[in-house]
Amino acid sequence: MRQLLSRSKGGGRTQSTLPFWLILPTIIVLLAIQVYPALYTVWLSLQEREPEGWTFIGLENFKRLFATSLFNESVGHTIVFLVGYAGLTLVLGFVIALLLSRNVRLSGLYITLLFIPWIIADLLVGLIFRLMVVPDYGLLSGILQNPAIIPPDGLSVLTAVPPKSWFGDFPFPPAAAMTFLILASTWRALPFVTLLLLAAMQTVPTEIIESSRIDGANGRQVIRHIMVPLMLPTMVVALFSLTLSGMNGVGMVFSLTGGGPGTSTYVLSYMLYSIGWDRLQFGRAAALALMIAIVNWLLISGTLRLTRVEERSV
Amino acid sequence: MKQKWSLIVLILLFALILTACGGSTEEPAAENAPAEEPAADTVPAEEPAAEVQDFVTWYQYDEKNEDPASDERVGNEYLRNTIPQFNEAFAGKWNWANQPKAFDRMTTELVAAVQAGGEVPDLFELSNTQDVIDFYRNGTAQDMMAWAQEQSWWSDLDPNAIDACTAPDGALLCIPISQRPQLVYVWNDRFPDGYPTTPEEFLARAEELKAEGLYAITFFGSTDKGGEGLTRGIWTTISSFGGALDDGQGNMLLNTPENIAAIEFLREIVANEYVPEIAFAGGFQEEEAFKDSSAGSFPTGLFGYRYVNPLTAPNGTAYAKGSAEDMIDAIEAGDVYLTHFIAAEGQMPGCGVDVAGFVIPVGATNVDAAHDYINWIMSPEQNANWVQGPGGGFPALKATQADPAFQTTFYKEAAEAIGASACSPWYGSLERPNEAQETVMTAVYKLIKEDPTADIAEVLTQTQEEYNAGN
Amino acid sequence: MRHKPLMTRQRRENILINIALIAVVLLAMLPIATTVLVSFKMEQDVTRKPPVIFPCDTETQAFEWAACRWSVEGYDRVLKPEPASNWLGFELTGNMIRTYIPNTLLYATTTSLLVVILAGLSGYAFSRYRFRGHRPLMVSILAITGVPLLTNLLALYQMGVKLRKADIPFYDDRFFIIMVYMGFFLPLSVWIAKGFFDAIPRELEDAALIDGCSPLGALWRVIMPLAAPGLMAVFLLTFVGVWNEFIAGYLLISKNDHKTVMFGLYDFLGQNIINLQVLAAACILIALPVVVLFLFTRRTFFKAMVEGAIKG
């Protein structure tokens, strides 16, 4: 903050109206495409559609949303999904980044190949994974549905009933379809996180690692006591960004499970799609959108605070 | 490589920044669009002739899709053949311009288009009667009662079909052309002595089939497609046990002895593995088990014959044209027959019924053409054709029922099956059918598949209370 | 002699790491490989119970090269080649090739170019000037993306309808789609562009100003060439973003002739997902262009992503 202030004092270009004109087009587009619709969403969240037209109903949409069991279920599924997805991606990303950081000869090729999933649309990733586990015909179903491999009856990912929950209504352990959804999402997000962590890893000064090795630290200790603390801000940024994308992405659920079987992959973003564009209850969907927006804002502000800490410390 | 790319971008940037200098962001894109016009060479030709007006329809079929393997080829072909006929019949007056729409999105789009005051068609092909309720709530469709009552065909329409098109306030929001009842497709070799008529008989035969490694029945059992499964096999079963989903006053009423009995029956056939796992896979994959005849029967819509192909009979005969003809052929050959579902004691076999027809949206610009079109479709020359094409069902016009097209084995068996059943729309008096469909299907799925030990009455009560809280 | 055991230890470690990495890469390629495999099968091999991995079994043998029943049926259904009198002797008549891919190319290229221009201008302003509301403006640009897209689309749909009715000369529905995509991808692009401008020393610019360039002249002649790789990154990220976008196109585009590739995939989902080989072929064909683009420009991508994630 101090740095910003001092720079603006010394800058001496504040008189010019040029920056205003440079930014104006961007602001116009954002006002039209992002701000106005967002305000409309706020208005919509207080309305209900009647045959006569939109009717103001106050906070009724929020109340009804809280009262539906599907909302509560979706919150549970979203938490399970986010924890599984972000956790798995971070851990795997860290391990792969660690392997790549050893500068093996073909690391460029590995990175390129590993990166391809990230470039594929989430809708397609959902379909690609669905093709693998289509009941009876999917190539993976051939293995998983074989009772000799998974006793007693084999596992049909897209239709398997979720196991009995350990914590009352909380959907854990997750259904097979949810696990598979997590795997598919991880597959797509992994390259991004790997690259991010790899970049952070390369900023850890090698002297520190070497000197600690000389002091007798083994590999695990180096990772635990030197690399992880130094990379922590990046990991948290990655975590936030994963949570943000996991919270809002709908394409993969759309094409992989459609929320099923039953409601076992019904997450909030899919619920938003379904009550808005399937059931045409736009008022209630807007109320849900605002709730999701609050979570998003928390994540965004967290990211910003962290990156500013970084900026200051540089 | 990178440098080359950067160079290209820079050049393009430069070219564009010259046009964008005024600070307006709109010009470059506006200039771009006309330049790319050749990409849009498939835009329907808009005839320049002065007094010929466009008559715009939204069908889920696409006359330009000539793919013989398309699952909608019956409807596509119908439009391809009929559009020139219409344009000829109304030459100099109307020009039929169809806009194909995705089947699972057209209702939403029409509601949104009317709300926004956007371009709406003059006529909308309705294939799902519960859309009428959506249209009523959202003020999407015009009331056609006054006009329809003056038409010559009005008195000849099946009253049930008219009911299905009537909104809660009495407005007539669609003109029914075709009725699509639900019935049961059966592999003859799996049920050679006729289809069971009671739950007990069904269970006994199912056990025999299971011993042979076969399934008695497959149905849309997943919660996919917004709970679509409810409107098919699930409603057939519930209504066959004398059940209903509403109290007749717009409230949901699920916790009734009849509904519980129906769910207990479904629970039993699922628990005993008389139903293949693929029934719960969603995406209409339950059909696969009937196609390869591993499942002996399949309760679904009459129009299902179009999509359930190719077929392999239990005796190995393959019906492999990969088109709607396969099922018809199998029925003609006696390998498949159509019948009604079982019924609990003292009940009629139940079934859902849907209506396909036409809606004139609020804001339609060419209502006269839509009226002319409806009258044209109601004419003897066109009616049977529509019912067999996009309609995929029975004629709503009694006069057309005598048409030779409906005297085939397929239609005769279907008529017999329907005649022995009590068919009704599943949503009864419920005013939020989309929400009801999803929540009830979720509850049913939970009870029969996910948690077969859950208390049926409790889950049903909870579901109905949650829905009624929104009334 | 003392070094030798160390060398072999290192080498052994290297081999282990390579093996681990190869395993990871193979695992990561598995879903793609199965899709490619399915896309080259015939329907009768796709719908087999239990499934076969290679359609190469005969009645006597589990695998025989000569018996493989590879097929391009899936691609055939998507591309629909028809004989024609052009130099190739055939033309591809599938909607995917004739309409959806050209449309998406148009949307993606135009959107990306416009985003590069706007994000470049405002990123430069944010990087070089301090003015009242600087930080709040930057933050709100990012924060505005926090409102979920799905309900915003209703407002955008209504906006599109009003624009269409307003009879603006040269107006085209596609223009609105491009506007919408711009709005989606601008916020992050502004942040990324600012990051790239921040990395360019201001002294260069000051020197140009002293030499008598106007500020815009300095921006154009001195800064732009240096910022080009960064702007290229913005271009690529936006391009891929538009290419892969589904839900907005699905809900906003009402004419078949304006559909995007992701929406076009819907043609093959149809009511029955029986034609897995067609679906697989469509997936491959849709993903291929961006994958190829990525392979040629991967370094720019890597840089942009790290930059984008850390700054924004």
| Cβ count within 10 A of residue B436 | 27
How many domains does chain C divide into? 1
With respect to residue C120, please indicate whether it lies within any of the assigned structural domains.
yes
- CATH number of the domain within which A153 lies: 1.10.3720.10
Residue A109: CB atoms within 10 A of its CB come to 12
Cβ separation C47–A192 shorter than 8 A: no
Please indicate if any CB of chain A lies within 8 Å of the CB of B461: no
Region B230-250: what's the mean pLDDT? 95
User: What values do phi and psi take at B251, rounded to 5?
Assistant: -95, 150
In a domain? residue C154? yes
Q: Which of B114-118, B174-178, C225-229 has the highest mean pLDDT?
A: B174-178
Best probe of the B interface among A280, A281, A288, by most B CBs < 10 A, is A280
- Cα→Cα distances B68→B419, C80, C217, Å: 34, 11, 60
Q: What domain range includes position A41?
A: 17-56
Question: Are B184 and B299 a contacting pair, CB within 8 Å?
Answer: yes
Q: Which of B447, B435, B425 is nearest to B236 (CA)?
A: B425
Region for residue B248 given its phi and psi (left: phi exceeds 0; alpha: psi -120 to 50; beta: otherwise): left
Model confidence band, residue A218 (pLDDT cutoffs 50, 70, 90): confident
Q: How far apart are the first and last CA of chain C?
A: 52
Q: Which amino acid is at A201?
A: M
Question: If you average pLDDT over every residue of chain B, what do you get?
Answer: 87
Measured in angstroms, the CA of B116 and the nearest CA of chain C are apart by 5
**Quick check: A168 contacting B, CB < 8 Å?**
no
Nearest chain C residue to A287 by CA distance is C151
Beta bridge partners of A55: A48
What pLDDT was estimated at residue B242? 95
What percentage of residues in chain C have a pLDDT greater than 70? 94
Asked whether residue A62 is assigned to any structural domain, the reply reads no
Q: What average pLDDT does this structure show over C162-177? A: 84
Looking at CA atoms only, how far is residue C84 from chain B in angstroms? 17
Query: What pLDDT was estimated at residue B322?
Result: 81
Taking a C-beta distance cutoff of 8 angstroms, is the pair C148, A289 a contact?
yes
Q: How confident is the model at residue A310 (pLDDT cuts 50, 70, 90)?
A: low
Mean pLDDT of C127-149: 86
pLDDT at C268: 75
Phi, psi for B120 (deg, rounded to 5): -115, 155
Q: Is the domain of A82 the same as that of A167?
A: yes
Query: Residue B10 — pLDDT band, cuts 50, 70, 90?
Result: very low
Residues 6+ apart with CB under 8 A from B448: B221, B263, B266, B267, B270
Give yes or no for A66 touching B (CB within 8 A): no
Q: What percent of chain C has pLDDT over 90?
A: 32
How close is the nearest chain A Cα to the Cα of B419, in Å?
Answer: 33
Residue C73 forms part of a structural domain: no
Same-domain pairing of A40 and A86 = no
- Tell me what pLDDT residue B196 has: 96
Which among A278, A281, A282, A284 is the top mutation candidate for probing chain B, defined by the most B β-carbons within 10 Å of its own β-carbon? A278
Q: What is the pLDDT of residues B322-355, one digit of tens each?
A: 888 899 999 999 999 999 999 999 999 999 988 9
The pLDDT value given to residue C117:
93
Q: Which amino acid is at C48?
A: R
| Residue C171: C-alpha distances to residues B159, B288, B351, C163, C174 (Å) | 48, 47, 50, 8, 8
Partner chains of A (3+ C-beta pairs under 8 Å): B, C
> In this predicted structure, what is the pLDDT of residue A155?
87
Task: Give the nearest chain A residue to B104 (CA atoms).
Answer: A278
pTM: 0.88
- pLDDT score of B37: 39
Partner residue facing B116 (CB), from C116, C157, C266: C157
Q: Are C280 and C35 in contact (CB under 8 A)?
A: yes
What tokens appear for A303 in the block? 């990211």
Q: Say which CATH topology domain B181-352+422-468 has.
A: D-Maltodextrin-Binding Protein; domain 2 (3.40.190)
Residue C14 domain-assigned (yes or no): no
Instruction: Give the model's confidence band at B301: pLDDT under 50 very low, under 70 low, under 90 confident, else very high.
Output: very high
Q: Is A67 on the interface with B (CB under 8 A)?
A: yes
We report the CATH number of the domain holding residue C261 as 1.10.3720.10
Share of chain A above pLDDT 70, in %: 92
- The neighbouring-strand residues paired with A37 are none
Q: Is residue C122 part of a domain?
A: yes
Task: Tell me whether residues C294 and A115 touch, CB distance under 8 A.
Answer: yes
What tens digit of pLDDT does each residue of B397-426 get?
A: 999 998 998 999 999 999 999 989 999 899
Distance CA B228, CA A187 (A): 31
Q: Mutation test of the interface with chain A: which of B138, B218, B468, choosing the one with the most A Cβ atoms within 10 A?
A: B138
C114, C254, C297 ranked by CB distance to B28: nearest: C114
Report residue B276: phi and psi, to 5°. -70, 155
pLDDT over 90 (residue A288): yes
Kindly state whether residues A109 and A40 are assigned to the same domain. Answer: no
Look at A45 and A212; give whichever has higher pLDDT. Answer: A45
- Smallest CA–CA distance, residue B405 to chain A, in Å, is 36
Q: What is the pLDDT of residue A15?
A: 54
In a domain, C89, yes or no: no
Q: Are the beta carbons of B2 and C299 separated by less than 8 Å?
A: yes
Q: SS3 sequence, chain B?
A: CHHHHHHHHHHHHHHHHHHHCCCCCHHHHHHHHHHCHHHHCCCCCCCCCCCCEEEEEEECCCCCCCCCCCCCHHHHHHHHHHHHHHHHHCCCCEEEEEEECCCCCHHHHHHHHHHCCCCCCCEEEECCCCHHHHHHHCCCECCCHHHHHCCCCHHHECHHHHHHHECCCCCECCEEEEEEEEEEEEECCCCCCCCCCCHHHHHHHHHHHHHCCCEEECCCCCCHHHHHHHHCHHHHHHHHCCCCCECCCCCECCCCHHHHHHHHHHHHHHHCCCCCHHHHCCCCCHHHHHHCCCEEEEEEEHHHHHCCCCEECCCCCEECCCCCHHHHHHHHCCCEEEECCCCCCCCCCEECEEEEEEECECCCCCHHHHHHHHHHHHCHHHHHHHHHHHHCCEECEHHHHCCHHHCCHHHHHHHHHHHCCEECCCCCCCCCHHHHHHHHHHHHHHHHHHCCCCCHHHHHHHHHHHHHCCC
Q: Which pLDDT score is estimated for B119?
A: 84
Split into its structural domains, chain A has a count of 2
Q: Which chains touch B (3 or more CB pairs under 8 A)?
A: A, C
Whole domain around residue C250: which residue ranges? 96-269+278-311
| Mean pLDDT to the nearest integer, A296-303 | 89
Average pLDDT score over chain C:
85
Express each pLDDT in C256-294 by its tens digit.
Answer: 889 999 988 877 775 555 678 888 999 999 999 999 999
Rounded to the nearest 10 degrees, what angle do helices C3-39 and A69-100 cross at? 140
Query: How many contacts does B have with C, using Cβ atoms within 8 A?
Result: 132
Strand pairing of B394-395 and B422-423?
Answer: unpaired
- With an 8 Å Cβ cutoff, is B143 touching chain A? no
- Measured from the Cβ of residue C109, the count of other Cβ atoms closer than 10 Å reads 18
- pLDDT of residue B442 exceeding 50, the answer is yes
**What's the pLDDT at B47?**
46
- Chain A residues whose CB is inside 8 A of the B454 CB are none
Architecture per CATH, domain B53-179+354-415, reads as 3-Layer(aba) Sandwich (3.40)
Instruction: Tell me: do A77 and A39 sit in the same domain.
Output: no
Q: What is the mean pLDDT of chain A?
A: 86
pLDDT score of A13: 47
pLDDT confidence of residue C34: 93
A19: its two tokens: 């920056």
Q: Give the tokens for residue C205.
A: 């610019």
Q: Beta strand B318-319 with B53-59: parallel, antiparallel or unpaired?
A: unpaired
Asked if residue C54 is part of any domain, the answer here is: no
Does any domain span residue C164?
yes
Identity of the residue in A14, A119, A286 whose CB atom sits nearest the CB atom of C294: A119
Query: A151-160, B237-246, C98-107 — which is least confidently predicted?
Result: A151-160
* Residue type for position B233: G
**pLDDT digits 0-9 by tens, B71-117:** 788 899 999 999 999 999 999 999 999 999 888 889 989 998 998 88
pLDDT at A57: 92
Which pLDDT band holds residue B298 (cuts at 50, 70, 90)?
Answer: very high
pLDDT over threshold 50, residue B38: no
The structural domains of chain B, with segments of one domain joined by +, span 53-179+354-415, 181-352+422-468
Query: What are A150's two structure tokens?
Result: 């998974």
